[in-house]
Amino acid sequence: MAVESKSDDAPSQPGLTRQALVQAALRVLEREGVNGLSMRKVAAELGVKAASLYWHVRNKEELLDLLTDELMADAEAPPREGGWREQLREYCVRYRRHLLGKRDAAKVVAGRLVPGPHLLRLMEDQLGRLREAGFSDADAAMVNYALGAFVQGFVLQEQGPLSASEAMGAGRREVATAAGEQLRRLPQETFPHLVALADALTGPSMEDRFSFALERLLDGLSTLLEQGSDVRKEGTPDE
């Protein structure tokens, strides 16, 4: 029963830690992108063989879960200044910038709902502000989810290559104007709107598109708050 007979003086904790794995994964991600992020490379980054990782982590999925939370480690909540609208806007703008700042972050995070400790910290803060703003508990929870999904979904489009196969080789602007050309060349009779709106469709930057959608969403939340959150009923739209 004397299981702990190892009387080494130095703690000499196992060379590998879950934390170390995640940090290594983070470096590999930054250096090689999500497609280059392999268990073998993470192991190599730690001077160890791939099989070793499986002692600390069930599989790659679990490592990606941990990595997802680590990506949120240095995300910051906005200052508590201005109304709820400014604060929520800043939340989304910062979250977007944060994801854009880490290579392929959206692709790692997307569709991964596991809330790690770092994300919980941010949720706690945002939920507090939503309740203070007057949102009901149910609405606050919904808004919190909606904003997260919104930003993640948006950045995912933004971070993926614009035109897939021809991502490298041409700048974003060039690809966009080329797409505009293509739309304008469509047959007028069957695609009148696409032809007419070619510029409007391909002109705006990702930043523009994000702001647009964000302001619409915030307007929608304004409406919700004005109505009082329990007056609303399904099936009674405005027409």
Partner DNA sequence: ACCTGAACACCGTTCAAGT
> 26 near 108, Cβ under 8 Å?
no
| In 102-197, alpha helices (H) | 105-109, 117-133, 137-159, 172-184, 192-196
Interface residue with DNA among 22, 26, 29, 41 (CB under 7 A) is 41
54 binds, among DNA, a copy of itself, none (CB under 5 to 8 A by kind): DNA
131 phi/psi in degrees, rounded to 5 = -70, -40
x-or-dash pattern for DNA, window 46-75, by CB under 7 A?
Answer: --xxxxx-xxx--xxx--------------
9 phi/psi in degrees, rounded to 5 = -75, -50
The torsion angle over the Cα atoms of residues 125, 131, 135 and 136, rounded to 10 degrees, is: 110
Q: How far apart are CA 45 and CA 120, in angstroms?
A: 29
Q: How far apart are CA 54 and CA 67, in angstroms?
A: 15
CB-nearer residue toward DNA: 43 or 75: 43
Q: How far is C-alpha 171 from the chain's CA centre?
A: 23
CB-nearer residue toward DNA: 49 or 232: 49
**CB of residue 57 to DNA, shortest distance in Å:** 8
Interface residue with DNA among 19, 33, 36, 209 (CB under 7 A) is 36
38, 41, 73: which is closest to 59 by C-alpha? 38
Interface residue with DNA among 27, 34, 38, 211 (CB under 7 A) is 38
The residue count for binding DNA (CB under 7 A) is: 23
Q: How far is C-alpha 50 from the chain's CA centre?
A: 28
CB-nearer residue toward DNA: 54 or 191: 54
Which 7-26 positions form the footprint of DNA (CB under 7 A)?
13-16
**CB of residue 214 to a copy of itself, shortest distance in Å:** 9
Binding of DNA by 169 (CB under 7 A): no
Q: Which stretch binds DNA (CB under 7 A): 30-38, 70-78, 138-146, 152-160?
A: 30-38
Interaction site with DNA (CB under 7 A): 3, 13-16, 36-41, 43, 48-52, 54-56, 59-61
